[in-house]
Amino acid sequence: MDAVVEWVDVRDRLPKSGTPVAAAVVGRYPPDSEAEPDEVNGQDFWLVLPMYFTTLHFGEDGTEHHDCFVDSDRVVRLPYGRPCDEPVTHWAALPALPGATVHQVLGEGARTALEKVWDGETTDGGTTGEGTTER
C-alpha cells in the first residue's frame, strides 16, 4: 500500500489540538556535544516520530506547555523556532486505520474491526478490494 504524505512546515501551520501526527524532529545525539559532528562527539539527526499535537500539556513536573507535540513517552517537543533541543520542523496527518475512517478503535470493537479488514470488508460495510489483506 502506497500512501501520499503531505508535510506541513510548522512555521506555516500547526495541527488541531489532539491530532495524532507524524512529526519530523531535528536535533543532535548526544544532545550536549558541541564539537564537530563525528562518531565520538555526536551527530545531527532529522527523523520522523509518531506524536500528537496539543494546545495545552502539563509535564510530569507540572510545567505548562502550549502548542506542543508529545510522544508516547510524554516527551514534549516544541515547534521549530521556539527554545527546544529537539524541535519539530514538519508534521503530517497520520492515515486512518486500514479499512476505516478513524485513527483508533478501542475495546471489543478493535478485534471486530481488524477481523473485518482481514476478511476484505471496511469497518463501515464497504470492501477493501478483492484479495487485499494488509498485515
Q: How far apart are CA 22 and CA 105, in angstroms?
A: 19
Q: What is the DSSP letter of 34?
A: -
Query: Does 30 sit behind a cis peptide bond, omega within 30 degrees of 0 on the bond before it?
Result: yes
Which range marks the domain in which residue 121 is found? 96-135
Let me know whether 89 and 100 are in one domain: no
Let me know whether 40 and 59 are in one domain: yes
Let me know whether 82 and 102 are in one domain: no
pLDDT in tens, the chain (135 residues): 567 789 999 999 999 999 999 999 999 888 665 556 556 677 999 999 999 999 999 999 999 999 999 999 999 999 999 999 999 999 999 988 888 888 889 999 999 999 999 998 876 655 444 333 333
2, part of any domain: no
**Is pTM beyond 0.85 here?**
no
Let me know whether 65 and 14 are in one domain: yes
Let me know whether 68 and 118 are in one domain: no
Q: How many domains does the chain have?
A: 2
DSSP SS3 for 8: strand
The values of phi and psi at residue 109, to 5°, are: -65, -25
| pLDDT confidence of residue 36 | 60
Please give the torsion angle defined by the CA atoms of residues 10, 20, 46 and 2, in that order, rounded to the nearest 10 degrees. Answer: -110
